[in-house]
Amino acid sequence: MRAVRAFTLVEMLVVIVIIALLSGIVLAVLPAVRKRSYEAVCLSHLRQLGQAFAMYKQDWGGIEAEKGRYYEPWQLGLPPRVFIPLSNGDCDTPIGTVDLWQCPASDLEGRCGFKYGANFPSCFKPPEQDPLETCRLWKEAVYRLGQEAWLVEDANHCTEAQRLRQGHCPVILLNLNFEVRRFPVRWDASFKEIFWQPH
């Protein structure tokens, strides 16, 4: 009668150790892969938003922004707001679709919140609600950058701990030229330095 050869204890232990090592390698790589995939999604979102903004601007006869000159958003053919609250608690948007404004790396909840930053709809307070004119001054400084002014920014791909430890984070920007760029930027200065003085 032929003997059936079985695995020895040593062989089983070797297989278990190899599987454990491979699992450790995969688990260590997964967060980086997930982060890159999120960034790829957001790059695609901002490119699509850029196309939507370009069509909106063409429809509304917006002019090109020149550096050093202040513009109101309507002069540039920009919508007054990108999120329109609906009675059912959901949102609509004149630019792209609501899903395009959702960053998969963001921890914000709900479909009616900004998951990307946008400079043009966020400072439309009446003067009586903005006694220090913070909105006006901030918006004016941004638009004086001309076509280099950022229109939409995505800074969701960096944790607070990374910002404090590294001093910079990757940011994806869509500017008034509707170009999308990704670069590390400083995170410890004013808005203008944060977004426009990359390392």
Q: What pLDDT does residue 18 have?
A: 86
CA atoms within 13 A on the CB side of 89: 1
At 144 the pLDDT is: 79
How big is the CA angle at 75 (ends 74 and 79), to the nearest 5 degrees?
25
| Cα dihedral value 121, 126, 131, 132, nearest 10 | 30
pLDDT for the residue 195: 44
Taking only the tens place, the pLDDT of each residue in 80-93 is 777 777 777 777 88
Q: Tell me how far apart the alpha carbons of residues 101 and 82 are, in angstroms, rounded to a whole number.
A: 9
Q: Are 154 and 103 in contact (CB under 8 A)?
A: yes
- Distance, in Å, from the CA atom of 148 to the CA atom of 162, rounded to the nearest integer, reads 27
Give the per-residue pLDDT at 187.
53
Rounded Cα distance between 142 and 120, Å, is: 9
Q: Where are the domains of the chain?
A: 9-196
Contact residues for 25 (Cβ-Cβ < 8 A; gap 6+)? none
- Tally of CB atoms within 10 A around 155: 20
Predicted pLDDT of residue 190: 46
Give the pLDDT of residue 24.
80
How many degrees, rounded to 5, is the angle at CA 160 between CA 40 and CA 165?
100
pTM of the model: 0.72
Query: Distance (Å, rounded) from C-alpha 139 to C-alpha 142?
Result: 5
- Amino acid occupying residue 98: V
The per-residue pLDDT string of the chain (199 residues; one tens digit each, 9 = 90 and over) reads 566 676 787 878 888 888 888 888 777 767 777 888 888 999 999 999 999 999 999 999 999 988 888 887 888 888 877 777 777 777 788 888 888 888 888 876 655 666 887 765 555 566 677 777 766 776 777 777 888 888 888 888 876 666 666 666 778 889 888 999 887 766 554 444 444 443 3
pLDDT at 166: 60
pLDDT at 157: 81
pLDDT for the residue 194: 43
